């Protein structure tokens, strides 16, 4: 076996011709034939005889079986950083030209790309990493997939099976490491188990609450000849409440004078947005979207009443709390949308609560619902359409009130800066110029706050932002989005902190000529944290200032077109240029820090 003959850190051990011959015979699954018997040896260097890839690929191995299952289930792309622990799988990838291999620079970046891809396709995103160090770097993607409810498969090459649990070089027990955040951790030890494990991984990652699955593959079970099944998943038949319950819900919808829909990420599934739109319209229901799920309902629609996120005003939450019928559809009703589990009231809301989510762990987890429905919200809203109408007249005033509060909340600010650019003006310009199918990818940071608050996601515009609040997500998510949605404009906004975490991944945009627009907010600060610091410990700056490289020059060195925005007058043309560009484009914005700090602590001009 080739992989097990490699030394630590992937350096091949010195080989004699005899060993080499055995290796090749091993790969081919047969002894070497006559013409290959005489090696050409020059000054101690063994020049291997010409091996034709084709003949090697004739042997269908356990790694092929794994990839066969992926391919049969429409997985057409993997993101990876290679490692000696999964050479067998890397080798099999050569025989799957239909699976696009995206080579990344850090497992965190690769993992985020897979999370973004999984979110966009609804199929598990796949990231492949090496044991120990590679797996540790990829941990952030597992956390993000779990928090964001995104299907993800992390394939980890493992030490040889004979050494498992011996604390061998780079060994980790992944069941212990990821058991609490992954939906399933599987470590087959027989090559014949690999296909079945991959098949189950796909099902588990994408079902119920989608999430991460970890598939650990010892290096010495990747190269054996095995069966090559091509099992395909069959989607589960949708279940629905019975007619009696549906009628009860319809009655409640007619009687309610202050109904409110809280729409969550489950409407990202194909047809989900459209179904929600038609339902809300038919029953004239105000729709609030759950935390960072802005794009499940158009922000420009007359029934849109805002996001339940990190920056709601007290007036808005107080108004929402006066609702008499909450339909929580496809949301987990977690910490942030419920404002720290205070709206609705825990555990028994004062309103009638309908909670619909396709996972019985979630329905009833925090709140007792009057209608606890374990099913797809997309199916439920379609089933509730017949009989829509006859609603209370008082609804109009309720909607108007919520709309007024929302309008005041989302009004663009008119800050004046004291040096540098007010980044919210950049966001405003993007919102005015972005095409109706633009994909907005965000990193974590205060630069993103104006997007969440003021950017009216409309048409087919998508928001790709980590619910986990993880820095480093933006750039890799933009690469994955541009690869997947080649005809849409991908726009990535990122801070100077987050950019230097995973910004190297933008080289893929140059390599693959992806017309991504990167907009970097450079405020020489981990400003989100500085803001909190100033509130808790005014005037005591600690650990939040940044010394930065020349980002503009860096982008040029990556081979991208780049412009620098240092004052408000330069915003418009930079954004127009960046959006129109048919190649990767980078805008560095010198952002004003003072304008985002609490007024009393902002440095004097
Ligand atoms: C991986 C990770 N590390 C740390 C944090 C904590 N954190 C949240 S925002 C932030 C600062 C972001 O700085 P920057 O990217 O420059 O954006 P800015 O807030 O300055 O706009 C930090 C350190 C995090 N969310 N994720
Ligand atoms: Mg910053």
Residue 389: predicted pLDDT: 85
Residue 377: predicted pLDDT: 98
Angle between helices 314-321 and 395-410 (to 10 degrees): 160
User: What is d(CA 374, CA 9) in angstroms, rounded to the nearest whole number?
Assistant: 48
SS3 string, 5-27, reads: HECHHHCECCCCHHHHHHHHHHH
Closest ligand, as measured to the CA of 448? 1
User: What is d(CA 599, CA 313) in angstroms, rounded to the nearest whole number?
Assistant: 19
As given in the structure block, the two tokens for residue 336 are 């942030």
User: What is d(CA 462, CA 442) in angstroms, rounded to the nearest whole number?
Assistant: 11
Task: Using the predicted structure, report yes or no on whether residue 30 has a pLDDT greater than 80.
Answer: no
User: What is d(CA 341, CA 399) in angstroms, rounded to the nearest whole number?
Assistant: 24
Convert the pLDDT of each residue in 184-238 to its tens digit: 999 999 999 999 999 999 999 999 999 999 999 999 999 999 999 999 999 888 8
Convert the pLDDT of each residue in 82-94 to its tens digit: 999 999 999 999 9
Share of the chain above pLDDT 90, in %: 86
- With a CB cutoff of 8 Å and minimum separation 6, the contacts of 359 are 208, 209, 374
Ligand 2 centre distance from Cα of residue 445 (Å): 7
Residue 34: predicted pLDDT: 34
Alpha-carbon distance values, 154 to 124, 178, 254, 301, 444 (Å) = 10, 11, 47, 39, 23
Maximal C-alpha separation, the chain: 93
Q: Using 50, 70 and 90 to split pLDDT, how confident is the model at 599?
A: confident
User: What is d(CA 95, CA 341) in angstroms, rounded to the nearest whole number?
Assistant: 51
Ligand 1 atom at minimal distance to the Cα of residue 521: 21
Q: State the burial class of residue 394 (Cβ atoms within 10 Å of its Cβ: 0-12, 13-18, 19+).
A: exposed
User: What is d(CA 445, CA 245) in angstroms, rounded to the nearest whole number?
Assistant: 44
Closest ligand, as measured to the CA of 141? 1
Residue 600: predicted pLDDT: 62
Angle between helices 107-121 and 132-148 (to 10 degrees): 30
Q: Using 50, 70 and 90 to split pLDDT, how confident is the model at 591?
A: very high
Whether the CB-CB separation of 60 and 228 falls below 8 Å is answered with yes
**In the CATH scheme, what is the code of domain 62-221?**
3.40.50.970
Ligand 1 centre distance from Cα of residue 526 (Å): 6
62-221 and 244-409 have identical folds: yes
Find out whether the beta carbon of 523 lies less than 6 Å from any atom of ligand 1: yes
User: What is d(CA 562, CA 302) in angstroms, rounded to the nearest whole number?
Assistant: 39
Ligand 1 atom at minimal distance to the Cα of residue 546: 16
Convert the pLDDT of each residue in 433-477 to its tens digit: 999 999 999 999 999 999 999 999 998 999 999 999 999 999 999
* Cβ-count burial 306-324 (b if 16+ within 10 Å, e if not): bbbbeebeeebeebbbebb
Convert the pLDDT of each residue in 489-501 to its tens digit: 999 999 999 999 9
Angle subtended at Cα 139 by Cα 147 and Cα 12, rounded to the nearest 5 degrees: 155
Alpha-carbon distance values, 403 to 287, 321, 591 (Å) = 10, 15, 32
User: What is d(CA 473, CA 452) in angstroms, rounded to the nearest whole number?
Assistant: 16
Find out whether the beta carbon of 447 lies less than 6 Å from any atom of ligand 1: yes
Ligand 2 centre distance from Cα of residue 561 (Å): 22
Task: Using the predicted structure, report yes or no on whether residue 275 has a pLDDT greater than 70.
Answer: yes
Find out whether the beta carbon of 431 lies less than 6 Å from any atom of ligand 1: no
Ligand 1 centre distance from Cα of residue 528 (Å): 6
Q: Using 50, 70 and 90 to split pLDDT, how confident is the model at 414?
A: confident
Q: Peptide bond preceding 473: is omega within 30 degrees of 0, i.e. cis?
A: no
Task: Using the predicted structure, report yes or no on whether residue 50 has a pLDDT greater than 90.
Answer: no
User: What is d(CA 390, CA 251) in angstroms, rounded to the nearest whole number?
Assistant: 10
Find out whether the beta carbon of 446 lies less than 6 Å from any atom of ligand 1: yes
Q: What are phi and psi of 138, to 5 degrees?
A: -80, -5
Residue 602: predicted pLDDT: 56
Find out whether the beta carbon of 551 lies less than 6 Å from any atom of ligand 1: no
C-alpha torsion angle, residues 11, 17, 23, 25 (rounded to 10): 160
Q: Using 50, 70 and 90 to split pLDDT, how confident is the model at 58?
A: low
**286 versus 4: which is more confidently predicted?**
286
Ligand 1 atom at minimal distance to the Cα of residue 469: 25
* Mean pLDDT of all residues belonging to the chain: 91
Ligand 2 centre distance from Cα of residue 425 (Å): 16
User: What is d(CA 362, CA 151) in angstroms, rounded to the nearest whole number?
Assistant: 17
Tokens 């356990």 -> residue = 62
User: What is d(CA 410, CA 450) in angstroms, rounded to the nearest whole number?
Assistant: 9
**Least confident piece of the model among 14-18, 170-174, 352-356:** 14-18
Find out whether the beta carbon of 529 lies less than 6 Å from any atom of ligand 1: yes
For domain 244-409, give its CATH number from 3.40.50.620, 1.10.150.120, 3.40.50.1220, 3.40.50.720: 3.40.50.1220
Ligand 1 centre distance from Cα of residue 290 (Å): 22
Query: Half-sphere exposure (CA, 13 Å, Cβ side) for 475?
Result: 31
- Kindly list the domain boundaries of the chain, sorted by start residue: 62-221, 244-409, 423-595
Residue 393: predicted pLDDT: 86
Ligand 1 atom at minimal distance to the Cα of residue 523: 20
Q: Using 50, 70 and 90 to split pLDDT, how confident is the model at 362?
A: very high
Whether the CB-CB separation of 472 and 505 falls below 8 Å is answered with no
Helices (H), 437-489: 449-454, 474-484
Convert the pLDDT of each residue in 303-345 to its tens digit: 999 999 999 999 999 999 999 999 999 999 999 999 999 999 9
Neighbours of 29 (CB within 10 A): 15
Beta bridge partners, 441, equal 464, 492
Find out whether the beta carbon of 450 lies less than 6 Å from any atom of ligand 1: no
User: What is d(CA 57, CA 97) in angstroms, rounded to the nearest whole number?
Assistant: 12
Ligand 1 centre distance from Cα of residue 446 (Å): 8
How much is the average pLDDT of 64-85?
98
In this structure, the residue with its CA closest to atom 13 of ligand 1 is 526
For domain 423-595, give its CATH number from 3.40.50.970, 3.40.50.1000, 1.10.10.10, 3.20.10.10: 3.40.50.970
User: What is d(CA 63, CA 223) in angstroms, rounded to the nearest whole number?
Assistant: 6
């Amino acid at each position: 076996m080739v992989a097990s003959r490699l030394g630590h850190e992937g350096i091949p051990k010195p080989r004699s011709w005899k060993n080499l011959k055995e290796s090749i015979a091993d790969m081919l699954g047969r002894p070497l034939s006559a013409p290959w018997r005489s090696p050409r040896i020059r000054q101690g260097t063994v020049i291997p005889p010409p091996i034709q890839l084709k003949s090697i690929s004739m042997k269908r191995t356990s790694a092929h079986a794994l990839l066969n299952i992926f391919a049969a289930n429409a997985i057409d792309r993997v993101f990876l950083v290679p490692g000696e622990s999964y050479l067998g799988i890397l080798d099999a990838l050569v025989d799957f030209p239909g699976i696009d291999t995206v080579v990344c620079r850090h497992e965190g970046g690769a993992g985020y790309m897979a999370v973004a891809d999984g979110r966009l396709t609804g199929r598990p995103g796949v990231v492949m990493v090496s044991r120990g160090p590679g797996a540790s770097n990829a941990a952030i993607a597992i956390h993000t997939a779990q928090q964001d409810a995104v299907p993800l498969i992390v394939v980890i090459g493992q030490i040889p099976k004979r050494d498992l649990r011996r604390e061998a070089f780079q060994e980790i027990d992944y069941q212990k490491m990821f058991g609490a955040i992954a939906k399933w951790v599987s470590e087959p030890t027989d090559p014949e188990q690999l296909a079945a494990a991959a098949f189950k991984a796909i099902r588990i990652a994408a079902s119920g609450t989608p999430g991460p699955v970890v598939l650990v593959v010892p290096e010495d079970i990747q190269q054996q000849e095995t069966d090559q099944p091509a099992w395909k998943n069959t989607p589960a038949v949708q279940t629905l409440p019975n007619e009696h319950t549906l009628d009860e819900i319809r009655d409640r919808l007619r009687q309610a004078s202050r109904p409110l829909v809280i729409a969550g990420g489950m409407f990202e599934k194909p047809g989900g947005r459209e179904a929600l739109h038609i339902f809300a319209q038919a029953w004239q229901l105000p729709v609030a979207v759950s935390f960072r799920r802005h794009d499940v309902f158009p922000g420009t629609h007359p029934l849109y009443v805002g996001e339940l996120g990190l920056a709601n005003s007290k007036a808005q939450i107080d108004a929402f709390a006066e609702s008499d019928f909450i339909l929580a559809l496809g949301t987990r009703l977690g910490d942030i949308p419920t404002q720290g589990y205070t709206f609705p009231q825990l555990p028994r809301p004062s309103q009638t609560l309908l909670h619909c989510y396709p996972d019985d762990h979630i329905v009833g987890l925090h709140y007792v619902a009057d209608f606890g429905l374990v099913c797809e919200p997309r199916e439920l809203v379609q089933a509730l359409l017949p009989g829509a109408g006859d609603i209370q007249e008082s609804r109009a005033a309720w909607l108007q009130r919520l709309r007024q509060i929302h309008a005041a909340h989302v009004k663009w600010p008119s800050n004046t800066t004291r040096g540098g650019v007010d980044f919210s003006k950049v966001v405003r310009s993007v919102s005015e110029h972005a095409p109706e199918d633009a994909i907005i990818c965000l990193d974590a940071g205060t630069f993103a706050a104006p997007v969440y608050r003021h950017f009216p996601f409309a048409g087919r515009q998508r928001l790709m932002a980590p619910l986990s609040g993880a820095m480093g997500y933006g750039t890799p998510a933009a690469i994955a989005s541009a690869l997947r949605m080649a005809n849409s404009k991908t726009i990535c906004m990122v801070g100077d902190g987050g950019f230097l975490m995973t910004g190297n991944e933008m080289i893929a945009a140059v390599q693959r000529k992806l017309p991504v627009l990167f907009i970097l907010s450079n405020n020489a600060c981990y400003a989100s944290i500085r803001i909190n610091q100033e509130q808790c410990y005014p005037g005591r700056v600690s650990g939040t200032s940044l010394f930065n490289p020349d980002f503009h020059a860096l982008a040029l060195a990556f081979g991208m077109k780049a412009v620098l925005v240092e004052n408000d007058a330069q915003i418009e043309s930079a954004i127009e240029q960046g959006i129109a560009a048919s190649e990767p484009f980078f805008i560095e914005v010198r952002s004003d820090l003072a304008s985002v700090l609490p007024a009393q602590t902002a440095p004097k001009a």
